[in-house]
Structure 1
Amino acid sequence: MLRGTPFPSAYRAPSTLCRRCFLRSVAARRQQARYVSTSFLEKQNEAKIKWDDRAKLIEEGKIPHLWDILKERGYVKDIAGTEDQIRELMLRKRIGVYVGIDPTAPSLHVGHLLPLMALFWMYIHGYRAVSIIGGATARIGDPTDRLQSREPITKSDMSMNITKMHYQLKRIWLNVEEHARRHGYEKEPRIWGRALFNNSQWYSSLSFIEVVSRLFKGMRLGPMLSRETVKRKMEKGDGMSLDEFVYPLMQAWDWWHMFRKMGVRMQIGGSDQYGNIISGIEAVKYLRDTEPDPSEKIPDDVLNTPVGFTVPLLTDSSGAKFGKSSGNAIWLDQFMTSSFHLYGYFTRRPDADVENLLKLFTFLPLDDISKIMELHKQDPSTRHAQHALAYEVVALIHGIDEATEVRDRHRGLFSKGVFHSPLVTFPTDEPSTANLASGFRVDIQLPESLILSKSISRILYAAGLADSVTDGNRLTKHQGAYIGGAPGQPSATNRGMDYGVLTYTPIKNWFPQDTKNFLIDGKLLILRRGKHFIRVVEMVSDAAWEASGMMYFGEPGTGRVRMLREALVDAGKDHDLSLLNSAEAREKFLDRAEALYADEGGPLLRGLPSEPHPPVAKTRARQILDQSFRTYALAGSGAGATKAKTAEIDSILERTERHLEDQVTRLVSREGHLKDKKRRRAERAQAAPMFKKVHV
């Protein structure tokens, strides 16, 4: 029996309520308790003691202040705040520091690397480092130094850009830790801290009225209108839209969110970001001083002062800024600027610039840089310093192994060494590392008939994320692969990814018609296996797919073994088999043609570029077809890809025909030799009594 319980009028509810509902209502209003383990508190206290000890050593001059290191290496151009504030803040507190990048292109470029290098230096010295992908702010676009407004970015392009940049930054961060170990900086667990965020994470749940009432109220139009970016765009450009006008305030809100939640007190940016950093400091100070909640009030002191600085602008030999807008970007994506050409770009730097670039783009100690320059001056023609610079940069972006291989190829005059082709499928026979994933092409195309009417297991196989359809079924059964979509929602009703965010949900063996719910803008699927291997699949019409001349794994009518078997037999039919006098000889010839595709050391394998790690489980037929896939994947899609693939297959058939001709010649020659041998034996047998008589 339910008993009525008086309910306080303060809750604005009926005067009576059942006991169970009353208790639930009270529990819902109760503040949720959060508990912190004693081990965590002990670790934090230990970290604070270490930091205080380090500050004493800096004050005594026994170790250098990181700010002095940054200035000595050339990272500091303009300062937002005072130098005394920055020195004191960095000395007394393990502050957080961030760099933000808007995903307006499908890859980072060398220009982005410079502010990131300053962030990496702070990370390996124990500061909390945060890198931000501006999934929300990129929808507006930073108007700084622009006279024309940016073109709107579609949801599909935005999703692709965010996905590719996210995994690029993850790989680079892992390489930073490897470089830190190489140069004597050992990571302290739970003390060194880094994070990678997308600002859509907080903007998607942020109330517009909160931004207006908290931030816009304290900003005055006069100072904002006097900014050089605004004046130039209004006077010489196409005018300033309201969203572009408030862009610095959105960037400032990012800083405020991290300021109060993550302890971020410093921002680093390119030299063109100085105005936005100044605006951000003013906004954060205003929000800090006008916090309405007493429990979240932050004091106005030196340890809670927002500061920032900019790095020098990276320009080419003509003085032009590097970047997508300038059209001279050196991309960090291997499929947009190969590691070979990235290495070559740095080996071409002028002698006058190379020492400064070594300080900016490497973690080499200054003493080591001085030694490198001394060796370089002894014989500048060897470009010793440029090679050292290029090696360190490629190792940071693509890993030590890739940098070593590319260096050897450059030093061997574009050498004869083994060229490691890009990965086509997920590596099942070796660790799926982040650097290995950099050679895995992210964006591919697949036909509409496959995406909309075939199982998700077959799509995983076609995309190269599964070794077979069976492997794809196993992945879906054990939820070992993921698809870009709304987390926690069933496939039949999944609303897909929101604009500007990157979220995944495990792939299950759903009905083929459910896959369309995960399409972005009706044409893009984002798939992932493991931590680093992703495919951004663009769905194209069947007619466009047919015209491209491309093939996907498991495409009907393109079985690798069947194709090669038929090609070998057809090649054999082109020869005059009547040269083989007996039916037995002809049968042996066809058996040899039938077995050629599986010959481990046969002519179909010889002459092809060797693989870095040949999969033992794969047949020769599959390896050969994989090679032709790689050839036209490097050329891209379209007519060029078709020609490259056709040329590769033609070369395979040509080598096969030559081998078959050799087989025919050898078989005919062998038959003739056997006849001659039999005839000579018979003649010797007839002459044997005569020889015997003469001997007696």
Structure 2
Amino acid sequence: MKSMVTILEERGYINQIVGSRDELDKVMTHRRIGAYAGIDPTAPSLHVGHMVPFMALGWLYIHGYKANFVLGGFTASIGDPIGRAKGRETMSPTQRKGNMAAMHVQLKRLGASMEKYAERRGYMREWSWRRSLENNVTWWTKVTTREFLSMLGRKVRIGPMLGRDTVKNRLDSGDGMSFAEFSYPLVQAWDWWHLFQSGCQVQIGGADQFGNILAGAEVVKQIAKDAHEYQVALRQQEHLEFKRKINVSFDPMGFTVPLLTTSSGEKFGKSAGNAVWLNSEMTSVYELYQFFLRSADADVERYLKLLTFLTLEEISQVMREHEKDQSKRIAQHKLAKEFTELIHGLGAAQEAEEQHRKLHNKQMSISDMRASVADTKATEVHPKTGLPMFAHPHLNKHAQPLHREDDPTTTVRLPRSMVIGKPFSRILWSAGLATSRTEGQRLINAVGAYVGGASDAKQEMGDSLSFTPIKSASWNEVKKYILDDNLLILRAGKWRIKIVNIIPDDEFVRLGLTCPGWEEHLKAQQESNLLNEAEKKSPPVAESRTSDV
């Protein structure tokens, strides 16, 4: 059998190793160690960029190593300074607790869904499959200042910490660094020490976490030397392994995974401003499917290796089929379905796939689009939250999926005042197909925006749906394509379709909806109403008379 390190390397998970590669290989071969990956709840949801370290942890889990998912409820109150020229904005306790609760549930579901997904891929559950989910708040509330300083503070030298690039960059060209941020690697090291005592020998992190993992490994080694109870347990374990003629290291080790990027080097994440969230209320299941369907041919094989449990042989077969006709996007469809199944389950993945096939079926008719609007009306309110199922994600400041994907649903509702009399560029923005009115105009100029339906009188009574490039942004062009006085079908590029249901303004307000530009539109409308009222109340100004002389 291949060693675990070899399996991880072949799939592209290992970026840098803290410690010796050969020693890590020996440890994983001869000892059923534990590993952990952690995340601070700085948002109410994980996003796609977070999944690579957790997928590496998942591969260890289904091969019999204990997987520890760690939620940084305590470390989130400090903030990791890596990659930042300025300190993080302080979150309110209420917001942090809300994020913590939401992400705890999400990580718990992720562990369970990974297990189900792995079983459907042939990895059947065994006695050795063990996983845990822990919040570092649980042990930090028990740590005293004296304990922290005596056990950890004495082991750390200030010189190496000041020499870290993160610290030097902030001191030289940033806004300085607080003592809390300076101490972040020490706090993270304490987390590792807590887990290390129960056999968690390996830490997994993103590529930017190499310095933190390296510092943590050194600190844990130093603490372990002086920890009496740990040394007693260690000697017993060494004796057992000596009898079995096993001689491998007990030192803490770790490895970083590559950051998830496109072939052009673009990152995915909250700080990059293009996060694709795993919470279906922030990025819908359909939009998650669509996101991976838009993957470039140069990226799709790497994503299949990093974000699925497909074997390398299965991936090779998918890529061979894909190369026969890249226009069919076979690999992208496989990736989209596999990842959506991993996160949201098989049923949700099948539904997203079916929805895509229907929307992009060449036989799609205008009647089908009307039916889609009717289906959306059937479910007015989310059964749990009480919020509209089709509420625009701008209601949540964190809900900003990748660039132009600013609406999580295919069918969107817009108030009449945001459509009637407005140019196409603004409607594209309000519908979530452009990030601004300017970009909407650029999309039109580049012949990347399309409108569906009847384009002339001959087709007006027909039912077949066809898309026409938008040639002009003017309202006169818009009104030709509005069907039944309440339906507008838009498309950007090949894949992104928005079925716009135009509703009265008062209904839009009653449903608690919003869209890009709605707030400023309301504000302008209110100011105009106030001005009109003021003019009505003010007395008329008498006309001045001039002499006839």
1:245 maps to a residue whose letter is: F
- The alignment partner of 1:304 has SS state of coil
The verdict on how the C-alpha distance between 1:188 and 1:293 changes in structure 2, with shifts beyond 3 A counting, is: closer
**Cα shift at 1:181:** 1.0
Match of 1:265 among 181, 188, 201: 201
Contact 2:263 2:299 in 1 (8 A): no
- Look up the match of 2:223: 287
> 1:194 aligns to what?
131
Quick check: which one's helix share is greater?
1
The offset of 1:394, in angstroms, is: 0.8
* Cα deviation 1:98-157 (Å, max 9, x = unaligned): 001000111111110011000000000110001111000010100011110001111111
CA–CA separation in structure 2 for the residues paired with 1:422 and 1:142: 41
Q: Percent identity?
A: 47
Matches within 5 A, 1:194-273: 194-260=131-197, 262-273=198-209
Larger RCO (alpha carbons 8 Å, 6+ apart): 2
The letter for the 1-side match of 2:332 is Q
Kept in 1, the 8 Å contact 2:35–2:202? The answer is yes
- How is 1:553-632 mapped onto 2 (pairs within 5 angstroms)? 632=511
What letter is aligned with 1:425?
P
Among 310, 313, 333, the alignment partner of 2:256 is: 310
DSSP 3-state at the match of 2:204:
strand
* Cα distance in 2, alignment partners of residues 294 and 111 from structure 1: 36
Distance change in 2, residues 1:371/1:293 (3 Å): closer
Q: 1:172 aligns with which of 106, 110, 132?
A: 110
Residue matched to 1:12: none
What residue is the counterpart of 2:421 in the other structure?
A: none
Q: Give the match's secondary structure for 1:197.
A: strand
What residue in structure 1 maps to residue 84 of structure 2? 146
1:296 Cα offset (Å) = 4.9
Contact 1:422 1:630 in 2 (8 A): no
Structure 1 contact 249–280 (Cα < 8 Å) conserved? yes
Q: Pick closer, same or farther for the CA change 1:113–1:423 going to 2, 3 Å.
A: farther
| 1:113 maps to 2:51 | yes
Is it true that 1:70 corresponds to 2:70 in the alignment?
A: no
User: Are 1:425 and 2:383 an aligned pair?
Assistant: yes
Measure, in 2, the Cα distance between the counterparts of 1:638 and 1:228: 41
Look up the match of 1:389: 335
Deviations 1:407-446 (A, max 9, x none): 111122357597685972259xxxxxxxxxxx999x9x9x
Q: Distance in 2 between matches of 1:252 and 1:78?
A: 18
The offset of 1:319, in angstroms, is 2.1
**C-alpha distance in 2 between matches for 1:66 and 1:412:** 42
1:329 equivalent in alignment to 2:269: no
The 5 A counterparts of 1:673-684 are: none
Contact 1:288 1:298 in 2 (8 A): no
Alignment of 1:336-415 (within 5 A): 336-413=282-359
- Corresponding residue of 1:625: none
Whether the 8 Å contact between 1:93 and 1:303 is mirrored in structure 2 is no
User: For the structure 1 residues 367 and 401, does the alpha-carbon distance in structure 2 shift closer, same or farther, using more than 3 Å as the test?
Assistant: same
What is the number of equivalent residue pairs in this alignment?
Answer: 385
Letter in 2 for 1:160: G
Structure 2 gap ranges (5+): 239-246, 362-367, 396-506, 523-549
Question: Does the CA-based 8 Å contact 1:133-1:166 persist in structure 2?
Answer: yes
Matched, 1:99 2:1: no
The Cα of 1:183 is off from its aligned counterpart by: 1.5
Counterpart for residue 683 of structure 1: none
Please give the alpha-carbon distance, in whole angstroms, between the structure 2 residues aligned to 1:629 and 1:405: 28
Q: TM-score, normalised by structure 2?
A: 0.65
Mapped to 1, the partners of 2:509 and 2:37 lie a distance apart of: 36
Q: 1:406 to 1:136 in 2, by over 3 A?
A: same
Distance verdict in 2 for CA 1:294–1:166, change over 3 Å: closer
Is the Cα–Cα contact under 8 Å of residues 71 and 134 in structure 2 kept in the other structure? yes
Following the alignment from structure 1 to structure 2, what is the Cα–Cα distance between the partners of residues 292 and 230?
A: 34
Q: 1:294 to 1:154 in 2, by over 3 A?
A: closer
Could you say what secondary structure the match of 2:143 adopts?
Answer: coil
Using the alignment, how far apart are the partners of 1:288 and 1:401 within structure 2?
48
User: Contact 1:123 / 1:129 at 8 angstroms: preserved in 2?
Assistant: yes
Structure 1 residue 405: Cα displacement: 0.7
RMSD: 3.0
Distance 1:154 1:364, change over 3 A: same
Residues 224, 231 of structure 2: 8 Å contact kept: no
What do the CA deviations read for 1:363-382 (whole angstroms, capped 9, x no partner)?
A: 11111111111111111001
Alpha-carbon separation, structure 1, partners of 2:87 and 2:313: 46
Whole-angstrom CA distance in 1 between matches of 2:7 and 2:180 = 39
Structure 1: runs of 5 or more not aligned: 1-62, 428-438, 446-627, 644-696
Question: Is the partner of 1:412 in helix, strand or coil?
Answer: helix
Deviations 1:634-669 (A, max 9, x none): 7589978xx9xxxxxxxxxxxxxxxxxxxxxxxxxx
Cα distance between partner residues in 2 of 1:187 and 1:637: 47
SS in 1 for 2:37: strand
Render the CA deviation track for 1:271-293: whole Å, top value 9, x for unaligned.
Answer: 00000000010011001111144
Q: Is the alpha carbon distance of 1:297 and 1:226 closer, same or farther for their aligned partners in structure 2, counting shifts above 3 Å? A: farther
Asked whether the 8 Å contact 1:148–1:233 carries over to 2, the reply is yes
1:157 alignment partner, one of 75, 95, 99: 95
- The secondary structure found in structure 2 opposite 1:334 is coil
Letter of the 2:11 counterpart: R
1:634 and 1:182, CA in 2 relative to 1: closer, same or farther beyond 3 A?
A: farther
Deviation per CA, 1:325-348: give whole Å up to 9, x if none. 111111111122111111111111
C-alpha distance in 2, partners of 1:303/1:629?
64
**Alignment partner of 1:332: what SS?**
coil
Choose which of 213, 221, 232 in structure 2 pairs with 1:277. 213
For the Cα contact (< 8 Å) 2:80–2:181, is it kept in 1? yes
Return the alpha-carbon distance in structure 1 between the equivalents of residues 380 and 211 of structure 2.
42
The CA deviation at 1:298 is 3.2
